[in-house]
Structure 1
Amino acid sequence: MDISTLLAQASSKWPQAAALSEPARDRHLTFRQLDQALTAFGQALERLDVGEGERVALLADAGIDYLIADYGCMANGRVRVPLDPTLSPVELLAQLRDAGAALLLFSPQYADVAEGLRGEGIRCRALEELTVAADVDLPDRPAQPPQSLASLNYTGGTTGVPKAVMHRHASLCAVLQNIVMARGAVLGDVLLNVRPLWPIAAVAVLAHLLSGGQVVLGGRFDSKTFIDQLAQQRVAFSSLVPTQLLRLLRETGSAPADLPLFKSLDIGAAALTGEVLDGAFSLFDGRIAVLYGMTEAPWSCYLAAAQMKALRQSGESAEGVVGRSLFAAALRIDRADANGIGEILLAGPQLMAGYWQQPGLTGEVLVDGWLRSGDLGRLRADGQLEVLGRCKDIIRSGGKSVQPGEVEQALLSHAAVREAYVFGLADVEWGEQVCAAVVLEGGASASVELLVEHCRELLSRYKVPRRLWFIEELPRSHYGKVQKKRLLEVLGVVAS
């Protein structure tokens, strides 16, 4: 199967049904209009001599034009290269050159950035020039070979050599199947998107379309208006990253919202703390689902809202629980310790083909058909996966291993602590010291000595932080993960 065929089938099934809506621009497309726009986009690439297999980069915010280009690249045999607009021009240029992009398409708000890149030899065109609606019926598109490259997704931070995940049509189709089966959307269900569509979120949006659902592109997330958008657009599904969810809870509180048509909010659970999960569960009246995956293996596990509710009603917090593996996805725990904790390995057709032009790195991560996730986890007695942190974050102190998450939970159990991040720093005597950065609750006060003594009451001596800093806010990525490099710069310390 391939992306072009799946989109054509959706157009054939529901030609007049609403597919995409962008209220801010009063734009709407039916499934038939979307399919025709994708074909027209392919013809525009032909006129620009951008051939099949060539890479087309996208620098734009989430809107109908973006999705026409994103899906249009794949449906017409080109390779989508979605870029993070928050990167610096130097970082964008490095990714564009690494990809060998034949063309960069940009929306108006990034015209100045594109002009600078043009001066560095990058071929640039305004996105809207290629997304003009077709005024006549266009011929059917040919299917694409399932093993042909469909997408390059840059990941792994903004420093060092660019690292792009390669996905073929076949792997993206497996991802789409996992999402469709997990989410359970039906014809006419509305999904509100307020997230950036890079690097892989556009695929989750596509899965909703392939279920016959309508996608409302709601612009950038606004914690003041999000709940109203859900109600006004009669939304059934949406998705937030943990940073957005935290802002929403601070804005609205956790009293249940009046959303009778709402079914589920999807959240990537890796960075979801217990406090945020508690608030979200209350605000959305239990309609919270969590997913586990990464750009290299999207949507590999899923905990549906009903399963989440069952866990919570049984007295569990459900923090870190991400459900069972989806459909053809497989998982196992490698080199588990006495507590069943080890590295999470993933397998299945949803896996990436490897890293673009980096066979050595690919060989380190893909081993005998299994992806080494770099995440620590364990399989519970009920078969569900619990994610516990990153393997590389394990602190080796005095010959013993310390899991940062355990120390963070001890700190968070103090009433004055809102957030905590635990990490290791090199130490001549101990190998590494256990260190912590703490954000206090508004209006609360605490001393280093008080929190250290609190930890001594809960943890073994070697796990108690030896150094502790107070900080106003932890620097986080869009996906909610603490950016350790930035944190250490703020603290003025050197990494291990």
Structure 2
Amino acid sequence: MVNIAERVWDVARSTPRRLALRSPREISYGQLRAANQRVAATVLASGRGPHDRVLLIAPSVPEFPEVYYGLHAAGCTVVTMNTMSTAHEIGYVLDDSGADLVIVWHEHVRAAAEAAGGRDIEVWELGEGTEMDGAPAAPGGATEAFEHDPQDTVVILYTSGTTGQPKGAELTAANLVDTADSFRPVLNLTSEDRLGTALPLFHVFGQAACMNTFLAAGASLSLVHPFDPDALLRLMRDERLTALAGVPTMWNAMLHARTALAPGDVASMRIALSGGASLPAEVIERFADRFGCAILEGYGLTESTGAATFNDVNREQRVGTVGPALPGTSLQVRRPDGACADEDEVGEILMSGPTVMKGYWNRPEATAEALDGDWLRTGDLGSLDADGYLRIVDRSKDLIIRGGYNVYPREVEEVLYRHPDIVEVAVVGVPDGYYGEEVAAVIVASPGVELDGEEITRWTKGYLSSYKVPRVFSFVDQLPKGATGKILKRSIDREALVARRE
């Protein structure tokens, strides 16, 4: 029997005064457990219990882990959602998941109330210190966490729905615990570690790979909300962080932040964890030069509880790869015919292991399409080297085929990030009457700099074959991003790019 809340409570039993959260307010493990117990008792007093779905909508604030582990302790299935979700999006998740309770941070109550009101679903408004308007009074607290079967569905996370309606990935009680266990040895994680992050805790990376992993190990967590590069850099120094977690746009923003921090100011830092999207090698190198800390990349999906590979601190770190498989996980790269690819040959990445989801909630056909026996089809393209290090090439759906040649956007982006006046870039394919597709680049330039497409084309030709060089350009103030800061290529207007070319 397993429960991720029980792992965190184990720390509270042995060292109740140890700090679980350092910022923005200090909370000991004993205090965290007490808050969890109060939340669990409140939920149980409302008539809800094990396996009932509860929707939690909250940002990266201390109340998130206080409520999250409380729901787990009560045995509920936790459904977390982006705080920017609209009433329509919330309504879809309520209908699909069957949740009959919404706990929502007070700043985001309007959309949740609108969605829930038309469905006669209760809404508890969450305030500071886990004060919840609308919740019943509950005497005492739940002293024991519910004992889950390892295969019980305890979290449902909805995919972004790039094609069709979003699907709910069912993560099990064992998935959450095994994810924490798989990261611990490759990070050399101890109770003395101090993690800082501005990642959203409602997302799998912040929630499972970071919060659960570090708190289950007895380490501490410092939160910055909303993301501010200067604030996160100051946090590194002021709280003597040993670890920082982010996505590529966060690292890039910190590189461009106006700060006087030098490597000596953040000497406590030993690991920086990056995931969510591929990180340009140029950013890794510049971050190491500026702050004296290497960014280590990993790879995972919502469907794999955010875990698959990581550049193990005990092994050689290879820039340009996302490292070898995590303990207990196996990787394959397959050709289109299903045969295993050769060493360094590009194909679709598949994975199996203890972090792979149970399936999609109420989607047997989608589950059968995603799971080939024990193997999860990722839809990502990559290759494995002789030592098992995985290199991500791109999403299969992002592949550009120009005149019969394959162009991987990430390769082009890696080159464009070398340009001294390019801050961010997204490379996409746009329809072309002659080549089928043309390579387009949407670019954010350094402040005060005006870039010219022809100059960028000439510069890029020094690094790439002619068919890979962008010919269509758009210069923008910012790129569309999701909740984690990941660049959303699907939100880029391809028609506007075509019109610009014409």
Both structures adopt the same fold (TM-score exceeding 0.5)? yes
Give secondary structure in 2 for the equivalent of 1:299. Answer: coil
Q: What is aligned with 2:338?
A: none
Q: What is aligned with 1:13?
A: 14
Q: Deviations over 1:131-163 (max 9, x none)?
A: 999996753334211111100011224784122
Contact persistence 1:242–1:479 (CA under 8 A): no
Contact persistence 2:41–2:138 (CA under 8 A): no
Contact persistence 1:333–1:378 (CA under 8 A): yes
Deviation at 1:331, TM superposition (A): 0.8
Deviation at 1:197, TM superposition (A): 0.4
For 2:414 and 2:5, how far apart are their aligned partners in 1? 47
Q: How does 1:23-102 map to 2 (within 5 A)?
A: 23=24, 26-29=25-28, 31-102=29-100
Asked if residue 407 in structure 1 is aligned to residue 412 in structure 2, the reply is yes
**What TM-score does the superposition give when structure 2 sets the normalisation length?**
0.87
Deviation at 1:364, TM superposition (A): 1.4
Change (3 A) 1:305 1:184: closer
Q: Of 160, 181, 185, which aligns to 1:181?
A: 185
Deviation at 1:392, TM superposition (A): 1.4
Q: What is aligned with 1:314?
A: none
Q: What is aligned with 1:302?
A: 310
Contact persistence 1:79–1:150 (CA under 8 A): yes
For 1:4 and 1:415, how far apart are their aligned partners in 2? 47
Unaligned runs of 5+ in 2: 336-340
For 2:361 and 2:245, how far apart are their aligned partners in 1? 29
Give secondary structure in 2 for the equivalent of 1:251. Answer: coil
The code of the aligned residue for 1:5 comes to: E
Which stretch of structure 1 is more off in the superposition, 109-118 or 325-334? 109-118
For 1:392 and 1:83, how far apart are their aligned partners in 2? 25
Q: Of 254, 263, 279, which aligns to 1:248?
A: 254
For 2:11 and 2:423, how far apart are their aligned partners in 1? 46
Q: What is aligned with 2:321?
A: 321
Contact persistence 1:271–1:481 (CA under 8 A): no
For 1:344 and 1:249, how far apart are their aligned partners in 2? 31
Q: How does 1:58-207 map to 2 (within 5 A)?
A: 58-121=56-119, 122-127=121-126, 128-129=130-131, 139-157=143-161, 160-200=164-204, 201-203=206-208, 204-207=210-213
Change (3 A) 1:482 1:54: same
Q: What is aligned with 1:356?
A: 361
Deviation at 1:380, TM superposition (A): 2.5
Q: Of 260, 270, 276, which aligns to 1:263?
A: 270
Q: What is aligned with 2:477?
A: 472
Deviation at 1:407, TM superposition (A): 3.2
Change (3 A) 1:138 1:167: closer
Change (3 A) 1:141 1:436: closer
Q: Deviations over 1:282-336 (max 9, x none)?
A: 233134222211111122111145757x65xxxxxx1x31111111011121123
Q: What is aligned with 1:346?
A: 351
For 2:439 and 2:494, how far apart are their aligned partners in 1? 18
Aligned residues with identical type, % of pairs: 30
Give secondary structure in 1 for the equivalent of 2:308. Answer: strand
For 2:425 and 2:224, how far apart are their aligned partners in 1? 32
For 2:467 and 2:358, how far apart are their aligned partners in 1? 42
Q: Deviations over 1:21-43 (max 9, x none)?
A: 443xx4523x2332333233222
For 2:251 and 2:137, how far apart are their aligned partners in 1? 36
Q: What is aligned with 1:315?
A: none
Change (3 A) 1:400 1:337: farther
Q: Of 279, 300, 307, which aligns to 2:286?
A: 279
For 2:221 and 2:139, how far apart are their aligned partners in 1? 23
Asked if residue 208 in structure 1 is aligned to residue 214 in structure 2, the reply is yes
For 1:136 and 1:100, how far apart are their aligned partners in 2? 29
For 1:413 and 1:5, how far apart are their aligned partners in 2? 47
Deviation at 1:448, TM superposition (A): 3.0
For 1:189 and 1:408, how far apart are their aligned partners in 2? 34
Which stretch of structure 1 is more off in the superposition, 149-158 or 131-140? 131-140
The code of the aligned residue for 2:114 comes to: G
Contact persistence 1:397–1:434 (CA under 8 A): yes
Contact persistence 1:243–1:478 (CA under 8 A): no
For 1:397 and 1:168, how far apart are their aligned partners in 2? 42
The code of the aligned residue for 1:240 comes to: G
For 1:307 and 1:338, how far apart are their aligned partners in 2? 20
The code of the aligned residue for 1:125 comes to: W
Contact persistence 2:430–2:497 (CA under 8 A): no
The code of the aligned residue for 1:488 comes to: D
Change (3 A) 1:337 1:454: farther
Contact persistence 1:56–1:80 (CA under 8 A): yes
Q: What is aligned with 2:400?
A: 395
For 1:399 and 1:138, how far apart are their aligned partners in 2? 62
Asked if residue 371 in structure 1 is aligned to residue 376 in structure 2, the reply is yes
Contact persistence 2:200–2:484 (CA under 8 A): no
Deviation at 1:50, TM superposition (A): 1.5
Give secondary structure in 2 for the equivalent of 1:215. Answer: strand
Which stretch of structure 1 is more off in the superposition, 191-200 or 41-50? 191-200
Asked if residue 431 in structure 1 is aligned to residue 436 in structure 2, the reply is yes
For 2:92 and 2:186, how far apart are their aligned partners in 1? 36
Unaligned runs of 5+ in 1: 312-317
Deviation at 1:365, TM superposition (A): 1.4
Contact persistence 2:59–2:202 (CA under 8 A): no
Contact persistence 1:424–1:433 (CA under 8 A): yes
Deviation at 1:209, TM superposition (A): 1.6
Give secondary structure in 2 for the equivalent of 1:72. Answer: helix
Give secondary structure in 2 for the equivalent of 1:324. Answer: coil
Deviation at 1:345, TM superposition (A): 1.1
Q: Of 219, 226, 243, which aligns to 1:220?
A: 226
Q: Deviations over 1:418-445 (max 9, x none)?
A: 4443222233443323333333444544
Change (3 A) 1:136 1:159: same
Over aligned residues, Cα RMSD in angstroms? 2.9
